[in-house]
Structure 1
Amino acid sequence: MAQINNSNIVQETKEKFVGYFKNKEKIVPLDQKNNTIYLGSVDEAYNKIIRLFNIEGTKIFNSSVKQTNVLFVHWN
């Protein structure tokens, strides 16, 4: 029973984490959205976010950094 509860907590946390990044993508122009994050499933978006984190580190949490499908654009 405890294993199921832990699994539920992990899934809920993952969904909220992905939701944070999906919300960030809402304000980005359509042609600049990271479609994997914006339109993908929770698992697809989560995996993309982890890959971006491995490349850029904590910069992905800053509002001044925009992730795209091809490159990172740093807004001034």
Structure 2
Amino acid sequence: VTQCDVGKALANLKLPGVGALSQSTICRFESLTLSHNNMIALKPVLSAWLDEAEAAKRDPDGAGGLLPPGEKKRKRT
């Protein structure tokens, strides 16, 4: 799962006040370079995404995945 995939999946959760997170925001969260307050604000959002991802993994007959069907990774040139 790439940082871009995480951002798109977070947008698909339809959480109030949360749009797609940028790859750089997710990267800064992973590297612990966001401010403490920003990390605290992102924690419930990322927890909700992780809960949904784990539920999708446990239920193989569920919605089919974290990303909408038809989304493909862009090839780098």
Which of 1 and 2 has higher RCO (CA within 8 Å, sep 6+)? 2
TM-score by length of 2: 0.34
